[in-house]
Amino acid sequence: MTKDSIRKALSRRQKKVGDPTGFTPAAVLLPLFEKGGDYHLVFTKRTETVNYHKGQFSFPGGRPHPDDKSLLDTALRESWEEIGLPPKDAEVLGELDDFATYTTGFIISPFVAMIPFPHKFTANPAEVDEIIEVPLPFLQAKRNFSEETLEVGGRPILQYFYHYRDHVIYGATARIVKHFLEVIEPADSIARTS
Confidence (pTM)? 0.90
For residues 65 and 77, is the Cβ–Cβ distance under 8 A? Answer: yes
- Of these ranges, 42-51, 133-142, 148-157, the one predicted with the greatest mean pLDDT is 133-142
Q: Which amino acid would we find at residue 143?
A: R
Q: Where are the domains of the chain?
A: 3-15+22-135
Are the beta carbons of 53 and 44 closer than 8 angstroms?
no
Confidence of residue 194 (pLDDT cuts 50, 70, 90): very low
> According to the model, what pLDDT value does residue 153 have?
72
Please determine, for residue 159, whether its predicted confidence score (pLDDT) is greater than 60.
yes
Supply the pLDDT for residue 193.
38
pLDDT of residue 186: 59
Q: Which residues, at least 6 apart from 180, have a Cβ–Cβ distance to it below 8 Å?
A: 30, 96, 110, 112
Closest CA to 76 of 113, 118, 129: 113
Neighbours of 40 (CB within 10 A): 21
Q: For 3-15+22-135, give the CATH class.
A: alpha beta
